[in-house]
């Protein structure tokens, strides 16, 4: 932290020994102005900052905050996957810059075939990324430029907005809740906007709303893409986290999908490997080549031991992925049952690791989602993401991530109930 601040402010003390720094004012030269690019200035404000700061302060003061804010898996990967990582890391040959292992891309192709019946050429139709967020943001950079427009699902996973903004693209936000309506809004936008949208981002199962679609949705998306000439990025981050027998469809299974787009998947969620940064792009070979070109200027690929362990995970841990989904399903039930008992109007998600909860009355009429989330944080010691953090259409909602165990979720419900005590109809 020190050194980056010192670098940016071009402070002469940069060259001094660290011991002299803590009590010294760092930014001494107020006349020097840092010319941050318009690209950075275009980024929307980070709405979660205030909540994160309060959570940090509460935790420092010893409060046990139950954190349902971020979709950060808290369970570990499979033992054999971690062992493979350690074993591969002990091999001195595995520490240089690494090429993308074809065997890893083969495993991705074979998973696509097993899970969705989609055949992919691992050499030209699959690419590894440092997490899917790395992949789709660089894909936006590869496809978009000033004057180009992308259609983005709303409410919006913030990285979808940032990726298009950083690529200097314009954004059209279309509601995700009703997939029929979304299709007709896409068609309407293409008929009436000039120049036409260049890119459509779809994300089902959707973060934050947990909305899902059936395979026919993608058939229609491909037809629209061909009719109006836009490319498609499907963000399938929650492919492995589905409940009650719901089978997440893949965009790439729709006839002709590979002509118009790509799909991103990740090992962050189903495999509990979020910190490892392993994601994949699959589909249209030209789009994949463009992404590979952009990425070759930004990174040197994935640490080889991670690739080796990821191969093991894809090859041998289907059962663990399945049981992780069941863990999320049980947590979903605990949280939804509990909030329903408190009188919240809950829709039970069929997939993702989130409950997208409408803020109940009387609070919905009294305060926005940021203030409501702050109230829960301060008075119930429960952290949740305010819907407004996902754009204006998220207002009125809270997103609760299923990243704590069932006992902690029960405790969260009790604490919320106590905090909102005396609410509508005495339900609280």
Ligand X SMILES: Cc1ncc(COP(=O)(O)O)c(C=O)c1O
Interface residues with ligand X (CB under 6 A) are 71, 131-133, 157, 203, 207, 235, 237, 266, 268, 274, 279
Measured CA to CA, the distance from residue 357 to residue 361 in angstroms comes to 12
Nearer to ligand X, 190 or 199 (CB): 199
Compute the least distance from the CB of residue 237 to ligand X, in Å. 4
Question: Is the CB of 85 or the CB of 420 nearer to ligand X?
Answer: 85
- The least CB distance from residue 100 to ligand X, in Å, is 16
Please give the Cα distance from 178 to 217 (Å, whole number).
11
Beta carbon nearer to ligand X, 105 or 417: 105
Longest dimension (CA), the chain: 67
C-alpha 420/C-alpha 408 separation (Å) is 18
Whether residue 311 has a cis bond before it, omega within 30° of 0: no
Nearer to ligand X (CB atom), residue 179 or residue 415: 179
Distance from C-alpha of 264 to C-alpha of 226, rounded to nearest angstrom: 20
Q: How far is the CB of 158 from ligand X (least distance, A)?
A: 9
Nearer to ligand X, 397 or 417 (CB): 397
In angstroms, give the least distance from the CB of 397 to ligand X.
16
Query: Are the C-beta atoms of 199 and 186 separated by less than 8 Å?
Result: no
For residue 136, the minimal CB distance to ligand X (Å) is: 7
CB of 268 to ligand X, least distance (A): 3
Beta-bridge partner residues of 281:
127, 264
Residue whose CB is less far from ligand X, 189 or 207: 207
Nearest approach in angstroms of CB 2 to ligand X is 28
Q: Which CB sits closer to ligand X, 233 or 420?
A: 233
Q: How far is the CB of 343 from ligand X (least distance, A)?
A: 29
Min dist CB 25 to ligand X, Å, is 38
Nearer to ligand X, 120 or 211 (CB): 211
Q: Which is nearer to ligand X, 279 or 387 (CB)?
A: 279
């Amino acid at each position: 932290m020190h050194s980056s601040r010192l670098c940016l402010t071009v402070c002469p003390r940069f060259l001094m020994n660290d011991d002299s720094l803590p009590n010294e004012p760092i930014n001494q030269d107020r006349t020097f102005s840092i010319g941050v690019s318009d690209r950075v200035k275009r980024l929307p404000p980070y709405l979660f900052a205030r909540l994160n700061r309060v959570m940090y302060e509460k935790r420092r003061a010893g409060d046990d905050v139950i954190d349902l804010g971020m979709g950060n898996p808290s369970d570990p990967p499979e033992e054999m996957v971690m062992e493979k990582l350690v074993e591969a890391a002990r091999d001195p040959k595995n520490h240089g810059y690494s090429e993308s292992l074809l065997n890893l891309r083969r495993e991705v192709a074979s998973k696509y075939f097993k899970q969705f019946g989609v055949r992919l050429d691992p050499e030209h139709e699959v690419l590894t990324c440092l997490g899917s967020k790395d992949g789709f943001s660089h894909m936006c950079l590869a496809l978009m430029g000033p004057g180009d427009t992308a259609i983005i699902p709303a409410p919006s996973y913030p990285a979808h907005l940032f990726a298009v903004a950083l690529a200097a693209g314009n954004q059209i936000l279309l509601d995700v809740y009703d997939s029929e309506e979304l299709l007709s809004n896409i068609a309407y936008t293409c008929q009436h906007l000039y120049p036409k949208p260049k890119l459509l981002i779809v994300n089902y199962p959707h973060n934050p709303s947990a909305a899902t679609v059936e395979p026919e949705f993608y058939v229609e998306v491909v037809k629209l893409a061909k009719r109006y000439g836009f490319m498609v990025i499907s963000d399938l981050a929650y492919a492995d986290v589905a409940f009650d027998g719901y089978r997440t469809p893949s965009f790439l299974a729709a006839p002709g999908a590979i002509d118009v787009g790509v799909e991103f998947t990740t090992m962050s969620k189903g495999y509990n490997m979020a910190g490892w940064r392993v994601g994949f792009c699959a589909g249209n070979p030209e789009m994949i080549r463009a992404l590979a070109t952009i990425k070759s200027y930004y990174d040197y690929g994935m640490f080889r031991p991670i690739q080796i362990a990821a191969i093991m995970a894809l090859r041998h841990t289907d059962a663990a992925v399945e049981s992780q989904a069941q863990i999320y399903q049980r947590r979903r039930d605990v949280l939804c049952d509990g909030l329903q008992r408190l009188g919240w109007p809950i829709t039970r998600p069929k997939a993702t690791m989130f409950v997208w909860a409408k803020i109940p009355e009387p609070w919905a009429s009294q305060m926005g989602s940021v203030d409501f989330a702050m109230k829960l944080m301060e008075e119930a010691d429960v952290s949740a993401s305010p819907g407004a953090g996902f754009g204006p259409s998220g207002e009125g909602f809270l997103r609760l991530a299923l990243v704590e165990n069932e006992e902690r979720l029960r405790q969260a419900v009790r604490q919320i109930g106590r905090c909102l005590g005396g609410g509508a109809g005495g339900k609280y």
